[in-house]
Amino acid sequence: MLAFLTRRLATILPTLLFVTILIFGLQQLLPGDAAKVLAGEDQDPTVVEYLRKKMHLDEPFPVRYAYWLGGVLRGDLGESLRMQKPVTALIAEKLPVTIELAALAIVIALAIGIPAGIVSAIAKGTWWDYAANAVALWGLSTPNFWLGIMLILLFSVQLGWLPASGYVSPFEDLKANLAAMIMPAFVLGNAIAAVLMRHTRSAMLQVMSSDYVRTARAKGLDERVVILKHGLRNALTPIITLGALELGTLLSGAVLTEQVFTIPGFGKLIVDAVFNRDYAVVQGVVLFTATAYILLNLLADIAYFLVNPRLRDGYARA
């Protein structure tokens, strides 16, 4: 276990360093002059010059990178020049929103995707299967922003049941928070549910035709027990991996959905920052989500290691 951990940790640091270079380097490829964009309508030359100095844009690339990396190592991700707020404060402000939205979306995706996948696998070739597949196809092919606007028109404008957009902190008003989050979470979860459904279906089909399932049936076990205990449990491993990956993607921000529902999360933060060439924000948020992603991956690997005896034995022998 220790050998495994050391080996994994040893790869993380260079990966992170590479990520910082990549983030910083790619950012430089953005066309346009950040100082000019931030200078606003009037384009006052002294303001442009001032901003350029402040962002170290007058220095060569390695020097700028060193300035930034030095800050990062001290825990300082810089300051948003547009909003005049430290990037760390912005991340702290948006992170709970993004986490909540991502968690709700995954819960919805699991709640729809897995049962639908099971049903279509068990009832393969029946109308149930076709219906579940049709729903999945719809979920995959419906653009998020379109579905979002349609939901707003139906539930907010026509029926008046839910707020059209915006965000309320759950600590302020849990009911209002859920009312505001349900539509965006559904829009995001809907698309993921479709992917999960397809994977659950194929994993279940494979497992259900295996020998141990046939044995279980031969033993005269209740069909429900066969499906849920012998079938689903074994089919779940790839689904959990997929769910974790989707969660990681959601944490980096759901750009269009956040835009439509005006949810102040990472997606909106980063898109606005790119358009306003607010470099420190783009770099800070991307670095944060990349680190989170890498750490989540590490956790998943550790979980595998604990769950899968074959992996464990492999390391013990080495």
Partner 1 sequence: MTRRSSLLPLLFALLCACPLGAQTLRFGLAEDPDVLDPTLARTFVGRIVFAALCDKLFDIDEKLNIVPQLAESYSWSPDGKALTIKVRPGVTFHDGEKLDAAAVKYNIERHKNMAGSNRRGELSLVSTVDVVDPMTARLNLSAPFSPLLAQLADRAGMMVSPKAATAAGEKFGANPVCSGPYKFVERIAQDRIVLERYPNYWNKGQIFIDKITYLPIVDSTVRLANLKSGQLDIIERMAPSDVPGLKSDSRFKLAKVTEIGYQGITLNVGKSDMAKTTAIGKDPRVREAFELALDRDGIVQVALEGEGTVGNQWVAPDNPFYAKSMPVPKRDVAKAKALLAQAGVPNPVVNLMTPTTSDAQKIAQVVQAMVKEAGFDVKIQSTEFATSLNLADKGEFDAYVLAWSGRADPDGNIYSFDACKQPLNYAGYCKPEIDELLTKSRTASDMGERKKAYDQIAAVVLKDRPIVYLYHRHWLWAYNSKLSGLRTIPDGLVRVQGLKL
Which residues of this protein are in contact with partner 1, per CB under 8 A? 30-34, 36-48, 50-51, 54, 80, 82-85, 90, 93, 149, 152-153, 156-157, 160, 163-167, 259-262, 264, 268-269, 272, 275-277
CA 312, CA 303: separation in Å to the nearest integer?
11
Residue number with CB closer to partner 1 (79 or 246): 79
CA 94, CA 112: separation in Å to the nearest integer?
27
CB of 153 to partner 1, least distance (A): 6
CB of 293 to partner 1, least distance (A): 23
SS3 128: helix
Contact 163, 156 (CB under 8 A): yes
Residue number with CB closer to partner 1 (133 or 259): 259
CB of 82 to partner 1, least distance (A): 5
Residue number with CB closer to partner 1 (246 or 258): 258
CB of 194 to partner 1, least distance (A): 24
Instruction: Could you list the beta-strand ranges (E) of the chain.
Output: 79-80, 85-86
Residue number with CB closer to partner 1 (66 or 150): 150
The H-or-E segment that residue 173 falls in is none
CA 296, CA 252: separation in Å to the nearest integer?
12
Residue number with CB closer to partner 1 (230 or 268): 268
Contact 139, 284 (CB under 8 A): no
Residue number with CB closer to partner 1 (35 or 226): 35
CA 216, CA 227: separation in Å to the nearest integer?
10
CA 182, CA 190: separation in Å to the nearest integer?
12
Residue 252 CA to its chain's centroid (Å)? 5
Number of Cβ atoms within 10 Å of the Cβ of 247 = 18
CB of 58 to partner 1, least distance (A): 15
CB of 37 to partner 1, least distance (A): 4
Residue number with CB closer to partner 1 (53 or 233): 53
CB of 73 to partner 1, least distance (A): 24
For 86, phi then psi, to 5°, come to -60, 140
Instruction: Give the residue among 201, 171, 180 at the shortest CA–CA distance from 104.
Output: 180
Q: Which two tokens stand for residue 154?
A: 């139906």
